[in-house]
Amino acid sequence: MESILLEKIGLFSNKISKDDLKPGDHIYSWRNAYIYSHHGIYIGDGKVIHFTRGGGLEIGTGTFLDKLIISSITNHGGDNPCPNNCGKQTNNKHGVISSCLDCFLSGGDLLLFEYSVSPALFMAKLRGGTCTTASSDPCEEVISRAEFLLLRNGFGEYHVFENNCEDFAMYCKTGLVVGRSYVLGRSGQANSVSAVACVARLVSPWASNAIRLCSDIGMRSDAVKVPVESLVARFSQVDSLAKES
């Protein structure tokens, strides 16, 4: 009964076998009793490129979530050490990192993020962060963006609402950002939190899904394609200004 309910709200409906993975896939896995999910881009050969806050650091929300969502640190799941030494390589790093698939999953289920879904299907998903109406670019472009961002560690500072792992994976897949100021923070998880806050006033599940749909990057008229080199340069400029202030 519980598994049927979880699938209905979209927690397990996108489950996929490792054998069915393809390079360029946007994958994710639920963490901490389904409070949030961690996202990345599978690049083949058992490797995933993803965006994380790093070992033991605060998420930076300034809310109770800092205690609940402690990190997206890679680990091999259970007490078994990673044969690829992913933990030693990444636990003290933050930003865009690469790890093996098992460490990325951290003992969780493997799920495939869906692209080009219809508005009706999007609305039917009661939980955000599982799909988008936006179309994916060819896998070669997706992997190229992910590898460039890994090389430059160029996706800015991690923030659970404004610039998170789902934003990273969605950018790699689509090349889309919002407006000329290159706004990210349009992930399904972030939008779900906003929608819940609105629904607390509207008391309508339909209103929650409508808000999520309107916020989805595939539905926004102000979403624009930005080359990865331009995005990295923009983040570098923002970081420089932050250090000067």
DSSP, res 18: G
Q: Is residue 39 annotated as a catalytic residue, yes or no?
A: no
Please name the helix (run of DSSP H) or strand (run of DSSP E) that holds residue 67, with its range, or none.
helix 65-68
Catalytic residue (choose from 82, 86, 131, 165): 165
User: Tokens for 52?
Assistant: 């994380």
Determine whether 214 is an active site residue.
no
Judge whether 50 counts as a catalytic residue.
Answer: yes
Q: Which of 38, 39, 76, 94 is catalytic?
A: 38
Given the residues 39, 50, 76, 94, the one annotated as active site? 50
b/e map of 164-190 (b: 16 or more CB within 10 Å)?
bbbbbbbbbbbbbbbeeebebbbbbbb
In terms of DSSP H, where are the helices of 91-227? 101-105, 119-124, 139-152, 165-174, 188-202, 205-215
Q: How many CA atoms lie within 13 A of 142 on its CB side?
A: 25
Q: Annotated catalytic sites, by residue?
A: 38, 50, 165
